[in-house]
Amino acid sequence: MKRCLLDTGALVAFFDHGDATHAAVVQWMAGFTGEFLTTGAVITEAFHLVADDTRAVQALAEFLQQPGIRIPDCFEPGALERASELMRKYRDVPMDFADATLVWLAEESGTESILTLDERGFRTFRHNRNRTFRLVLRD
């Protein structure tokens, strides 16, 4: 089964019709058949960013409950430790906690495809012994 990591910016753009990347994200997601993987940190950021739009909040909640969306626990001790290590390593990029949890998830799942708008970060970040990410909107 194909898998793709889902980052905050792309998730928000999917629900924000005014976002400049909305159409590109919707089009890519409509053509994807597989499983999306994301983390609680990404979801928290996304809900915060759409909080003023009650329709987007509801749509996001419904989207995350669909089959084909998997949300592993990024708050367990091993994941927290790895995220902390990654944030120290990439402090100059910078890397926030949500980004660190996605790199952790890439390492845990073996998934290197990511739907993100953060090209600078995810072109810099590495996982699983210096492997690069495949930015599905750009590559």
Residue 107 belongs to domain with CATH number: 3.40.50.1010
Which residues form the domain of 61?
A: 3-135
**SS3 call for 124:** helix
Q: Taking the model in full, what pTM does it have? A: 0.95
pLDDT score at 86: 97
Strand runs (DSSP E) across the chain, as ranges?
3-6, 35-37, 69-70, 113-115, 134-135
Half-sphere exposure in the Cβ direction for 94 (13 Å, CA)? 7
Taking only the tens of pLDDT, the chain with its 139 residues reads 799 999 999 999 999 999 999 999 999 999 999 999 999 999 999 999 999 999 999 999 999 999 999 999 999 999 999 999 999 999 999 999 999 999 999 999 999 999 999 999 999 999 998 999 999 998 8
Phi, psi for 113 (deg, rounded to 5): -80, 135
Quick one: how far is CA 136 from the chain centroid? 12
Number of compact structural domains in the chain? 1
pLDDT score at 1: 74
Burial call 4-33: b when 16+ CB within 10 Å, e when fewer: bbbbbbbbbbbbbeebebbeebeebbeeee
pLDDT score at 5: 98
pLDDT score at 139: 81
pLDDT score at 48: 97
pLDDT score at 89: 96
